[in-house]
Amino acid sequence: MDRRYFLNYSAITAAYLLAGCEERSGREEGKARQAVSDSPAAVPPQKAEEKLPEQIMPFTQKLKIPGEIDFAQIKKAALTAQKSQVNIFPDMQTEVLTFQGDLPNPTIRIKKGEVFDLDFMNNLADPTIIHWHGLIVPEEMDGHPKDAIASGATKQYRYPIEQSAGTFWYHTHPHGRTGEEIYRGLAGFYMIEDEEEKRLNLPQGEFELPLMIQDKRFDEKRQLRYKDPKVPQDNNGLLGDVILVNATPFPYHEVKSEKYRLRILNASSVRTYQLAFDTIGEFALVGTDAGLLESPVMVQSVVLSVAERVDIIVDFKDKEVGDRVTLKTLGFKEGSNLTLHPDYPAFDAPMDIMQFHVTEKILDTQVLPEKLIPIPRLQASDAVNTRRITMEIIAGGIWTLDQKPFDMHRVDQRVKLGTEIWEIKNSVHMAHPFHMHGVRFQVLDRDGKIAFPTDKGWKDTVIVMPFETVRIIVHFTMPGLFVYHCHILEHEDQAMMANLLVE
Ligand SMILES: [Cu+2]
């Protein structure tokens, strides 16, 4: 069993990295020290290895492919948030939350120009609401936390799809419980298609795979464990040691020696992945959060923070039957100086994610287009306003935007329809994915050291590195009240969110 991801991990590193967060707040410091002394951080790394039940052998379970709700075939759909027992592991059932009784949840597929129509029933014990991440829809359809529906209630979503093709997703968004609901299962893919994308003839059918990546924790009975009350750092973000892809732990997928389109979503709580393949040096980035790029960009790895998506083409043409190619994260230590739970692989931990098993040699017939879709560049000179948003941690270790804990009914920014520049300044030792509802945007520039190829495309979520300022240019086309927030789930649940009124 490959457990390389524990190699970089030690109590010494944990204690050292904690120093980074202690500067920020006195109370956090106390909590941090307590966590070090109370936690099992002093146990040798092999203790942590034993936490992985032996049955979680990597690359022994087949990747599950989500079923689809395809609006080319139906006019109306239904989802019910509910508790369910599912087989994440073959030998035992796990209690999770689902939208249709099983995991992975169905992928929604819809064409630009069609009308999305869905009844959502809340069969959970608490109020909740679905948000369509990346979709530009009217306020009452967006899934603002203020619109959460009661247990037992139903909400009808109906809106036209007016934006171009891209890899989006849906998840619940009740204030204070989003993290746990997504962690326990309430997330799925949402693919918008259009004619421009179709003309490109990108790999499709069996050669197109949605991959939802999430790191989780399981106990010996294969039940999900969420935050550990003894470890206050879990409030800074929940790290796990078992990576699920489409609700399958460390799966494998059988492929032919051909190009595959992988549409990858990071639906984890906090972990940022630096995705790469062990025996394929380069792959093509063809799309980002909210659509395709102008042309493919060849990369060796790609950074994916929480809620971001990448659309990539990977070519197995040089592989032979029997070859295995591992998708992994190289680790991303630049993402955080904070130590979160001392028992789990940290940000700098390389981890295997899934494996591709080559089972058939075929003629590689797919051609990667040189040009994809035109992206009209939003010009800084078109912006009528510039605002600055700061990401900060305040007394008590509370994550905020502009030092103001989220108030669901306070309007933090009033914006006119049109174009603005938003400068997102990160004042802390940890990268945060900044997400806005109701818009898509472009990255103008960042004053940090790392260049992200994903900055070239349409975005709805952007990683802001520690102490970095990222300037984005946002085109506001949909009036209404929307939220903008950090997409680290435990940060948004705390207070790192604000309201934006577009008029
Ligand atoms: Cu954050």
Label residue 340 by pLDDT band (50, 70, 90). confident
Q: How far, in Å, is the centroid of ligand 1 from the Cα of 192?
A: 28
* Residue 203 and residue 121 in contact, taking contact as beta carbons nearer than 8 Å: no
Residue 395, number of CB atoms within 10 A of its CB: 11
Q: Kindly state the average pLDDT of the residues 35-48.
A: 34
Task: Say if residue 432's pLDDT is above 50.
Answer: yes
* CA 20 to ligand 1 center in whole angstroms: 16
What pLDDT is recorded for position 34?
A: 31
Domain count, the chain: 1
Tell me how far the alpha carbon of residue 426 lies from the centroid of ligand 1, in angstroms. 9
CA of 339 to the centre of ligand 1 (A): 14
Q: Does residue 107 fall inside a structural domain?
A: no
Residue 399 CA to ligand 1 center (angstroms) comes to 7
Give the Å distance between the CA of 69 and the centre of ligand 1. 32
Give residue 26's pLDDT.
31
What's the pLDDT score for residue 21? Answer: 34
pLDDT exceeds 70 at position 18: no
Rounded distance between C-alpha atoms, residue 369 and residue 388, angstroms? 38
Q: What are phi and psi of 16, to 5 degrees?
A: -65, -45
Q: Determine contact, residues 426/466, Cβ cutoff 8 Å.
A: yes
Q: Is residue 329 part of a domain?
A: no
The rounded percent of the chain whose pLDDT value lies above 90 is 83
pLDDT of residue 253: 98
Strands 115-122 and 77-89: parallel
For residue 157, the CA-to-ligand 1 centroid distance in Å is: 29
Alpha carbon of 488 to ligand 1 centroid (Å): 5
Is residue 307 situated within a structural domain?
no
> Among all chains, which residue has been given the structure tokens 């939208």?
99
The answer to whether 259 and 430 have CB atoms below 8 angstroms apart is no
Residue 178 lies in a domain: no
Q: How far is the CA of 225 from the centre of ligand 1 (A)?
A: 21
Euclidean distance between CA atoms 247 and 68, whole angstroms: 15
Examine the pLDDT at 37 and tell me if it is beyond 90: no
Question: 76 CA distance to ligand 1 centroid (A)?
Answer: 36
Q: How much distance in Å is there from the Cα of 263 to the middle of ligand 1? A: 24
pLDDT of residue 47: 40
* 489 in any annotated domain: yes
Do the bridges between strand 242-245 and strand 248-249 make them parallel or antiparallel, or are there none, so unpaired?
A: antiparallel
Closest CA to 32 of 489, 395, 342: 342
Q: Are 141 and 157 in contact (CB under 8 A)?
A: yes
Q: How far is the CA of 287 from the centre of ligand 1 (A)?
A: 24
Domain that holds residue 451: 380-502
Measured in Å, residue 273 CA sits from the centre of ligand 1 at 16
**What's the CATH code of the domain at 484?**
2.60.40.420
pLDDT-derived band at 128 (thresholds 50, 70, 90) equals very high
Instruction: Measure 323 CA to ligand 1 centroid, in angstroms.
Output: 39
Give domain status of residue 14, yes or no: no
pLDDT tens for residues 228-278? 989 988 989 999 999 999 999 999 999 999 999 999 999 999 999 999 999
pLDDT in tens, 278-332: 999 999 999 999 999 999 999 999 999 999 999 999 999 999 999 999 999 999 9
Looking at residue 338, its pLDDT comes to 78
Instruction: For residue 339, give the 3-state DSSP assignment.
Output: coil
In a domain? residue 443: yes
Q: Where are the alpha helices (DSSP H) in 132-283?
A: 139-142, 178-183, 195-199
How far, in Å, is the centroid of ligand 1 from the Cα of 487? 6
Q: What is the pLDDT of residues 369-388, one digit of tens each?
A: 999 999 999 999 999 999 99
Q: Report the alpha-carbon distance of residue 379 to residue 420 in Å, rounded.
A: 10
Compute the distance from residue 21 Cα to the ligand 1 centre, in Å. 14
Neighbour tally for 81: CB within 10 Å = 24
- Confirm whether 424 is domain-assigned: yes
pLDDT cut 70: percent of the chain above it? 89
- Output the CA–CA distances (angstroms, integers) from residue 97 to 43, 79, 101, 109, 247, in the order listed: 33, 12, 8, 22, 12
Residues in Cβ contact with 421 at an 8 Å cutoff, skipping those fewer than 6 apart: 380, 383, 385, 386, 387, 444, 471, 472, 473, 474
What string of DSSP letters covers 22-49? HTT-HHHHHHHHHHHHHSGGGS-HHHHH
Sign of the dihedral through C-alpha 452, 379, 160, 438: positive
Q: How far is the CA of 492 from the centre of ligand 1 (A)?
A: 7
Cα 494 to averaged position of ligand 1 atoms, centre (Å): 10
pLDDT top residue among 91 and 34 = 91
Count Cβ atoms below 10 Å from residue 322 Cβ, excluding itself. Answer: 8
pLDDT of residue 352: 97
